[in-house]
Amino acid sequence: MTRRILVTGATGYVGGRLAAALERAGHTVRCLARRPEALRGRLAPGTEIIRGDCLDPSTLPAALAGVDTAYYLVHSMGSGRDFAALDREAAANFGSAARAAGVRRIVYLGGLGDAGQLLSPHLRSRHETGEVLRQSGVPVVEFRASIIIGSGSLSFEMVRALTERIPVMICPRWVEVAAQPIGIEDVIAYLMAAVDLPEGEVGVFEIGGPEVVSYGDIMREYARQRGLRRLLIPVPVLTPWLSSLWLGLVTPVYARVGRKLIDSLRNPTVVASDRVRCVLPIAPRPLSEAITRAITEEDAELAATRWSDALSSAGMRPQTWGGVRFGTRIVDSRAIVVDAAPAHAFAPIRRIGGTTGWYYGTSLWKLRGFLDLLVGGIGLRRGRKDPEELLPGDPLDFWRVEACEPDRLLRLVAEMRLPGRAWLQFEVTPLPGGRSEIRQTAMFDPAGLAGLLYWYVLYPVHAVIFQGMLNRVAVRATEGRQPSGPVVAPTEIVL
């Protein structure tokens, strides 16, 4: 039986995957988002997107109207304010609106942790959120999970970055605290199954994989599968503050979010109740398989998701010199608004490279191609197959077309010699009044410290080239057209 289902947090890691799974299952899906534009192109055509915020009660009745099951997957951990107070306020607003709308059930994903112990502020807030939702009077199914293993999850990306980049790690005690990780596919399976639970089956369900391990064990297993030799040296004292600063330097975790995350790691997160086994016959996969899937799906995940997907995991939308990290990748994104329809705005993008060139810094592009040849790369000699059309898989100088959607998107993956992997994406979004936004995003996945050094040393050059290229693309898009108003100046925006 299909039901109307509301998903909050659909721009986030778990919410985005859940929304897609519900669509595939044939449910009628509605998503609540503060920025609906962030979901454009990521959801099925029949999925409804409503602008709203759980901290603004006036926006919730329309989102919850006619909803059978509502998934609550939002949190305020990235806020610079009192995130626990914000979480309580948001949950109270949502629960009250759900009760008024006649919602049959709320499904919430929280965190494991023994409530009888002194929990970290983050884990305590996760438990409080579930309690506030229950106080609304709407039946609540609360799943509590430990570390989620999957390409793109905050915890796993931290593990991967540490293991890939540092051969000898000085590890604080939290690295060996017990946890019960679970694969992202199994988390989605539990969340999906909650829709069809019998009416009386509510309350807290603890979920986890079959093994009790630690962050250190996860790093060792990841290293084993990647063929890396890593040495972990434990030390008795390393404060959460120092740990968070260290992680901010070498991993995707921002210090502010990292501090809250690390503070939570002092608490064991192990399943204490097997109630879920009696209700939902799901057998979570072992840690080794979950890590294998995460590694295997990394490239597919990058190709299938938009650049902004992991921002909720990063916890903030900073605008920093040198790009913004999410996952193990660094992103530099900038946009310009042009007085042209999408077809005109996209025309110079689909003609890029080959004999047309790259619109700006031609001599620098040629120098990069020559240097690539010197180190055994392909250089710029391949050109392109057709001067007007591009198809996925086509070579384009020292890039290859990874995705191309007419008048909307072009994504290129680099095939030149690099200490890492690189992508360049152009995306055109229609705006009111016949205008369009052209967004250019460069992404780099550095391989170790050499990759980081490459990015930051060359960033000033890349910034000039990318901004100049975007400006020239904008000029080409409006050539021969009479502007209907002032064109917005280029603005660097990190999604």
pLDDT in tens, 449-485: 888 888 889 888 988 999 999 999 999 998 855 433 3
Q: What are the helix (H) ranges across 55-201?
A: 60-64, 83-101, 121-135, 154-165, 184-193
Q: How far apart are CA 370 and CA 363, in angstroms?
A: 10
Q: How far apart are CA 425 and CA 442, in angstroms?
A: 6
pLDDT at residue 77, rounded to an integer: 57
Q: How far apart are CA 10 and CA 30, in angstroms?
A: 10
Name the packing angle between helices 121-135 and 255-264 (round to 10°): 80
pLDDT at residue 494, rounded to an integer: 32
pLDDT at residue 451, rounded to an integer: 84
Q: Is 18 left (phi over 0), alpha (psi -120 to 50) or beta?
A: alpha
pLDDT at residue 267, rounded to an integer: 85
Whole-angstrom CA distances from 349 to 231, 352, 417, 426, 477 are 47, 5, 24, 7, 9
Q: How far apart are CA 204 and CA 469, in angstroms?
A: 53
pLDDT at residue 320, rounded to an integer: 30
pTM over 0.75: no
Q: Are 69 and 5 in contact (CB under 8 A)?
A: yes
Q: What are the helix (H) ranges across 121-264?
A: 121-135, 154-165, 184-193, 215-226, 240-250, 255-264
- pLDDT tens, the chain, 495 aa long: 567 999 999 888 899 899 999 999 999 999 998 878 767 767 888 899 999 999 999 999 999 999 999 999 988 655 555 788 999 999 999 999 999 999 999 999 999 998 878 888 888 999 999 999 999 999 999 999 999 998 877 778 778 877 887 788 877 777 888 999 999 999 999 999 999 998 888 999 999 999 999 989 999 999 999 888 888 887 776 665 666 656 655 555 544 455 556 666 778 899 999 999 989 989 999 999 999 998 887 655 443 433 234 333 333 333 333 344 444 578 888 999 999 999 999 999 999 998 889 999 888 888 888 887 777 677 776 778 888 888 887 888 888 888 898 999 999 988 888 888 899 999 999 999 899 999 999 988 887 788 888 888 988 898 899 999 999 999 999 885 543 333 333 333 332
Q: All domains of the chain, ordered by start, with CATH?
A: 4-307 (3.40.50.720), 324-478 (3.30.530.20)
DSSP secondary structure string for all residues of 398-465: TEEEEEEETTTEEEEEE-S--SEEEEEEEEEEEEGGGEEEEEEEEEEEE-HHHHHHHHHHHHHHHHHH
Find the radius of gyration of the CA atoms of the chain: 24
Q: What's the first-to-final CA gap in the chain, in angstroms?
A: 37
pLDDT at residue 313, rounded to an integer: 31
Q: How far apart are CA 307 and CA 303, in angstroms?
A: 10
Q: Are 366 and 380 in contact (CB under 8 A)?
A: yes
Which run of H or of E encompasses 295? helix 287-296
CA 293 to chain centre: 17
CA 248 to chain centre: 17
The tens digit of pLDDT for each residue in 106-134 reads 999 999 998 878 888 888 999 999 999 99
- List phi, psi (to 5°) of 257: -75, -40
pLDDT at residue 101, rounded to an integer: 96
